[in-house]
A and B are shown apart, each in its own frame.
Chain A
C-alpha cells in the first residue's frame, strides 16, 4: 500500500471548539480519501482540551485518532480504518 498523503493542520494558538471545527472542516473536505487510507490529517496544537475532544468527535465519525505529546504541544494523527 502506498504511503498516504499527510495534510498538516497547524492550529497553534487556537482553542477548542475552534480546533475541533477546523479539524472537522478538513475531515469533511477529504472524507473519502481519508477513509480509503490515501490521506491522513495531522493536527498540530497546543490546546490540551483538543487531545480529548478531537479523538472523541472523529471516532463518532468512524475515524481513528492517535495523540502524541511533543515539545510545546500535541500532534493528533487522524486516519481511516
Chain B
C-alpha cells in the first residue's frame, strides 16, 4: 500500500513535517476503514487535525470492526446451522431433489433422486454432468404448466407417476443462479383419482355406466352428430313386470336379474355403443352412426335375445323398448321425452315390443 513506507517516519514524529505525514497516514487509514463500513471518507475541512487526534477515529472504527466481526461470526454460525438443517431435510425428504447450476449441470442431488432416477448410482457420477444427459425424464412430460415462478410438470418413469416442480433460485441481482428440481411420486394420488372417477361414472350394482356418464357422453355425441351430420339414435329399455320379481322372489333375485340383463346386453352391443343403467329397471343405449331403422332392428334383436334367455331363478324375462333418432337442434330434454314416449307406447301396446318416436 502507498502509505506503508511512510510508517517508519511517522513513528518518530520529531518534526512538524513528520507530524503532518503521520496525520496523512491516519486520515488514509481512517478513510480506508470508513469505506469498508460503507460511508464517505473524511474531509479535512470538516475535521481539523487536532480534533481528528482527539476523536480517535482509528480507535472507534477498530472497536466497531470488532463488533462487525463478532456479528459476522454469529451470522456464520447461524448460517452453518441453517445449512445443516436444510441438508438433513434434503436427505431425509420423501421427495427427490436435484439442483442444477445456470448451465444445467447437476450441482447436487439427494438420496431419493439417486434411488428413483439414477439406479442408486454414486452422487459423484451425477454431479457436474448435464441434467439432460443423466436423466431423460423431462423429455417425456405429460403435462406442464407455469404457476407463478415455478414450472409444474408430470411424467411417468418406471411405471410410477411423478410430478416435478422446477423453481429458479435468483441471486442478489435477480438473475437465475440455480434451479431446484423437486420430484414427488404421485402414483397413489393418481390411482385414487382414477378410482374416484370410475366410482362417479359407474353403476355400482351392474358395473356399467351410470346416468351421469351417459349424459356427458350423449351431450358430446349430439354435438358431433350435428357438426358432421351423422345419425344418432337412442333406445331405452325397461324390464317388464319387474316389480313382481322383486315382490314375489325378493330384492336379491331382482338385483341378480338386473346384473344378468347388463351382462346380456353388454355382450350384444358394438364397441362404440354406450350402454348405461338409467335407474331402477331402466337401461339406455346410445348408438352413434345408427339411424332410426338401424336402431329399431338392433332393438328387435335385443328384444328377442332377452326373450329367449333364461334368467337364473326367474326364467323368462321380457323388455319393452322405446327408440328415437336425434333431430338436429333438438334439446336433450326434448330428445329424451320422445324416447320416453316411445317406451310408454311399447308398454301400453302390450309390452315385449319395440316402438319408435
Interface set of A (CB-CB < 8 Å, partner B): 15-18, 20-21, 24-25, 27-28, 31, 49, 53, 56-57, 60-62
Q: Are B46 and A15 in contact (CB under 8 A)?
A: yes
Q: Are A62 and B41 in contact (CB under 8 A)?
A: no
Q: Are B38 and A53 in contact (CB under 8 A)?
A: yes
Interface of A is mostly: helix
Kindly state the separation between the CA atoms of A36 and B37 in the bound complex, as whole angstroms: 23
Q: Are B67 and A20 in contact (CB under 8 A)?
A: no
Interface of B is mostly: helix
Q: Are A20 and B37 in contact (CB under 8 A)?
A: yes
Kindly state the separation between the CA atoms of A18 and B46 in the bound complex, as whole angstroms: 8
Q: Interface 1/0s, chain B 245-276, versus A by CB < 8 A?
A: 00000000000000000000000000000000
Q: Are A24 and B63 in contact (CB under 8 A)?
A: yes
Report chain A residues within 8 Å CB of B75. Answer: 62
Per CB-CB distance, the 10 closest pairs between chain A and chain B, nearest first, are A62-B71, A28-B63, A53-B39, A61-B67, A24-B64, A56-B38, A57-B37, A25-B60, A17-B39, A24-B60
Q: Are B68 and A61 in contact (CB under 8 A)?
A: yes
Q: Are A61 and B40 in contact (CB under 8 A)?
A: no
Say whether B47 faces chain A, with CB atoms less than 8 Å apart.
yes
Considering the complex, give the chain B residue whose CB is closest to the CB of A55: B38
Report chain B residues within 8 Å CB of A53. Answer: 37-40
Whether A17 contacts B40 in the complex (CB less than 8 A), given A24-B60, A24-B61, A25-B60, comes out as yes
Q: Are B40 and A49 in contact (CB under 8 A)?
A: yes
Q: Are B68 and A60 in contact (CB under 8 A)?
A: yes
Report chain B residues within 8 Å CB of A60. Answer: 37-38, 68, 71
Report chain B residues within 8 Å CB of A27. Answer: 64, 67
Report chain A residues within 8 Å CB of B39. Answer: 16-17, 20, 53, 56-57
Considering the complex, give the chain A residue whose CB is closest to the CB of B61: A24
Given contacts A18-B46, A28-B67, 5 further A-B contacts (CB under 8 A): A17-B40, A20-B34, A60-B37, A62-B70, A62-B71
Say whether B42 faces chain A, with CB atoms less than 8 Å apart.
yes
Write the nearest CB–CB distance from A23 to chain B, whole angstroms.
9
Report chain B residues within 8 Å CB of A25. Answer: 55, 60, 63
Q: Are A61 and B60 in contact (CB under 8 A)?
A: no
